């Protein structure tokens, strides 16, 4: 039973990391767009 709970906790942790990483990429793209607009 404890192994199952541990696996579930690990799965949620990895899912959260992927979500945060995706948000970081979106923010980076938005920052690049602003930077490119400022250069023009």
pLDDT of residue 30: 78
pLDDT of residue 35: 81
CA distances from 1 to 9, 11, 29, 33, 35 (A): 13, 16, 43, 49, 51
Distance of CA 33 to the CA centre of its chain: 19
pLDDT of residue 21: 75
pLDDT of residue 1: 78
pLDDT of residue 37: 80
Question: From CA 31, how far away is CA 18, in angstroms rounded?
Answer: 20
Q: DSSP letter at 40?
A: -
Question: From CA 25, how far away is CA 40, in angstroms rounded?
Answer: 23
Q: pLDDT tens for residues 1-40?
A: 788 888 888 787 777 777 777 777 787 887 887 787 887 7
């Amino acid at each position: 039973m404890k192994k199952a709970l541990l696996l579930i906790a690990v799965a949620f942790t990895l899912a959260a990391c992927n979500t945060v990483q995706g948000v970081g990429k979106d923010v980076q793209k938005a920052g690049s767009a602003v930077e490119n607009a400022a250069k023009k």
